[in-house]
Structure 1
Amino acid sequence: MAEIVVGVACSHSPQLSTPVEIWHDHAARDRRKTDLIGVDGHVHDFAELVPMAPPGLDAELTNEVFVAKDQRMQAGLEKCRLALEESGATVAVVIGNDHKEMFGDDGMPAFAVFLGDSVPDNPIPEPVLAGMPTGLRDAQWAYHGEQVETYPVRADLAWHIAGHLTESDFDPAQLTRQPPGRTLGHAWTYSRRRLMGAVILPMVPIHLNSLYPPTQPSPRRCFALGKAVAEAIRSWESDERVAVITTGGLSHFVVDEELDRAVLDAIAAHDAAALTAIDRRKMNSGTSEILNWVTAAGALDELQMEVIDYVAAYRSEAGTGVGMAFASWH
Structure 2
Amino acid sequence: MARITASVYTSHVPAIGAALDQGKAGDDYWQPLFRGYDYSKHWLAEQKPDVVFLVYNDHATAFSLDLIPTFALGTAARYAPADEGYGARPVPEVLGHPELAAHIAQSVIQDDFDLTLVNKMDVDHGLTVPLSLMCGQQDPKQGAWPFKVIPFAVNVVQYPAPSGRRCFQLGQAIRRAVESFDEDLNVQIWGTGGMSHQLQGPRAGLINREWDNAWLDQLIADPVACSQVPHIDYVREAGSEGIELVMWLIARGAMADVAGGPKPVVKHRFYHVPASNTAVGHLILENLRD
TM-score by length of 1: 0.71
Coordinate RMSD, CA, aligned: 2.5
1:150 aligns with 2:93: yes
Counterpart residue number, 2:216: 264
One-letter amino acid of the structure 2 residue matched with residue 296 of structure 1: A
Q: Distance in 2 between matches of 1:235 and 1:314?
A: 39
Q: Distance in 2 between matches of 1:123 and 1:145?
A: 10
Deviation at 1:81, TM superposition (A): 2.4
Counterpart residue number, 2:246: 291
CA contact (8 A) 1:93 1:245 kept: yes
Q: Distance in 2 between matches of 1:81 and 1:239?
A: 24
Change in Cα spacing, 1:78 to 1:158, as seen in structure 2 (3 Å) is same
Counterpart residue number, 1:7: 7
**Residue 69 of structure 2, aligned match among 88, 109, 134:** 109
Runs of 4+ in structure 1 deviating by more than 6 angstroms, as ranges, are none
Query: Higher helix proportion, which one?
Result: 1
Change in Cα spacing, 1:265 to 1:306, as seen in structure 2 (3 Å) is farther
Q: Distance in 1 between matches of 2:285 and 2:49?
A: 13
Deviation at 1:72, TM superposition (A): 3.2
One-letter amino acid of the structure 2 residue matched with residue 150 of structure 1: E
Deviation at 1:100, TM superposition (A): 0.9
Show the 5 A alignment for 1:32-47: none
Deviation at 1:98, TM superposition (A): 1.0
- How many corresponding residue pairs? 257
Show the 5 A alignment for 1:297-308: 297-302=252-257, 303-308=264-269
CA contact (8 A) 2:175 2:255 kept: yes
CA contact (8 A) 1:263 1:275 kept: no
Q: What stretches of structure 1 of length at least 5 have no aligned partner?
A: 23-65, 130-139, 316-320
Show the 5 A alignment for 1:1-330: 1-17=1-17, 67=28, 70-124=30-84, 128-129=85-86, 144-145=89-90, 149-178=92-121, 183-197=122-136, 198=138, 199-214=145-160, 216-253=161-198, 254-283=206-235, 285-302=240-257, 303-313=264-274, 321-330=277-286
Q: Distance in 2 between matches of 1:241 and 1:110?
A: 27
CA contact (8 A) 1:6 1:242 kept: yes
Change in Cα spacing, 1:226 to 1:311, as seen in structure 2 (3 Å) is same
Q: What stretches of structure 2 of length at least 5 have no aligned partner?
A: 139-144, 199-205, 258-263
